[in-house]
């Protein structure tokens, strides 16, 4: 079983946990005290990942860092359907890769605003929010056009790792004082992802209560 070095409040770590849950792949989850302990910058962790970033996935053969890279590895090795990372459809694959890059812009804006508002990280909050508005508007436009074309997900008629990479920080925007009211297409897409079989939550993204679970 692969080992995930994880922080429960990290949207990037959640991406890995979420895809693993959707693929029904068990992970050995090791908590890293990112806050308040700053253990990701301690020698023991830096020996594992010199960049000091989370998440890290130990596969048994290699040590993977960067959430998008780990999503790619999970999809490539653990998804027999090939739908989550459609390598045999060049155009879809290109769209997926484009969204993986876009996801880092969400982290750098919406994610930073969240760290500021929630965990008191010192930064220029106005700049983070202004950046967040631009990035969220781009996501909204793309999703609105997908809706007009009758599609619910970013890159294909079904969810791909593009959706998983972009979902957490978009959905967590309110944690950073950024309301999602202006983004109705994002709202519908968040609901579509929360409705996927096997979906798991993280703090700030609530469980779907619409359908009462049968005891």
Partner 1 sequence: MTDWIPVSTATGLRRGGVMRSFVCGQELAIWHSAGGAVHAWDNRCPHRGMRLSHGFVRGEQLACLYHGWHYGADGACTAIPAHPDLVPPASICVPTSPCIEAGGFVWVGGDPAHPPAEIPRLGLRSLHVEVPLATLRAHLGGTPDADGLVPFGIAAAALQAWDDRTTVLHLATPPKTSTTDRIALSRAAEALRREVEEWQTA
Partner 2 sequence: MADRMTDLTALPAVTLNDWYCVAMEVTAPDAFDTTLLGATFYVTRTADGWQATRPDGTPCRCQTRYDHIWLCPGTPDRDLFALPEADQSGRRPVPCGAVRVACSPLRAVENFLDIAHFPFVHTGILGSEPHTEVYRYEVEITEGDAEVWATKVRFYQPQAAKSAAGGIETDYMYRVPAPMVSVLYKTCPPRPGEWDVIAIFVQPLGPELCDVWPWMSLFDDETPQEALIQFQQTIFLQDRSILENQVPRLLPLDPRMEVPTRADLTSVAYRRWLKARGATYGATLEAL
Binding site for partner 1 (CB under 8 A): 141, 144-145, 147-150, 179, 181-182, 184-185, 187-188, 191, 206, 208-212
In the complex, the smallest distance separating the C-beta of residue 204 from partner 2, rounded to whole angstroms, is 6
How far apart CA 183 and CA 188 sit, in angstroms, is 9
Rounded (10°) angle between helices 112-119 and 125-148: 130
Q: Does 69 bind partner 2 (CB under 8 A)?
A: no
Burial class (CB in 10 A: 0-12, 13-18, 19+), 15: buried
Q: Does 52 bind partner 2 (CB under 8 A)?
A: no
> Which member of 27, 97, 118, 192 binds partner 2 (CB under 8 A)?
118
For residues 183 and 140, is the Cβ–Cβ distance under 8 A?
Answer: yes
Tokens 């359907």 appear where? Answer: 81
User: Stretches 4-12, 103-111, 146-154, 188-196: which one binds partner 2 (CB under 8 A)?
Assistant: 4-12
- The closest alpha carbon to 106, from 138, 154, 146, belongs to 138
Choose between 149 and 179: whose C-beta lies nearer to partner 2.
Answer: 179
Q: Do 155 and 162 form a contact (C-beta atoms < 8 A)? A: yes
**Taking CB under 8 A as the rule, does residue 166 contact partner 2?**
no
Instruction: Tell the smallest beta-carbon distance from residue 136 to partner 2 (Å).
Output: 18
174-193 binders of partner 2 (CB under 8 A):
174-175, 177
Minimum Å distance from CB 205 to partner 2? 9
């Amino acid at each position: 079983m692969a080992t995930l070095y994880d922080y429960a409040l990290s949207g990037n770590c959640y991406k890995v946990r979420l895809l693993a849950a959707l693929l029904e792949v068990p992970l050995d989850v090791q908590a890293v005290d990112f806050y308040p302990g700053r253990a990701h910058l301690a020698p023991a962790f830096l020996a594992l990942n010199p960049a000091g970033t989370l998440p890290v996935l130990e596969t048994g053969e290699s040590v993977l860092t960067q959430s998008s890279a780990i999503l790619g590895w999970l999809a490539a090795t653990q998804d027999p359907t090939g739908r989550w990372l459609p390598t045999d459809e060049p155009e879809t694959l290109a769209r997926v890769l484009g969204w993986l890059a876009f996801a880092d812009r969400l982290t750098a804006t919406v994610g930073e605003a969240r760290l500021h508002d929630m965990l008191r990280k010192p930064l220029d909050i106005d700049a983070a929010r202004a950046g967040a508005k631009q990035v969220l508007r781009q996501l909204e436009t793309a999703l609105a056009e997908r809706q007009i074309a009758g599609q619910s997900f970013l890159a294909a008629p079904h969810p791909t790792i593009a959706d998983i990479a972009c979902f957490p920080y978009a959905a967590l925007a309110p944690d950073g004082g950024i309301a999602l009211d202006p983004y109705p297409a994002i709202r519908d897409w968040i609901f579509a992802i929360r409705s996927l079989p096997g979906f798991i939550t993280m703090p700030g993204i609530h469980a779907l209560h619409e359908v009462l679970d049968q005891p």
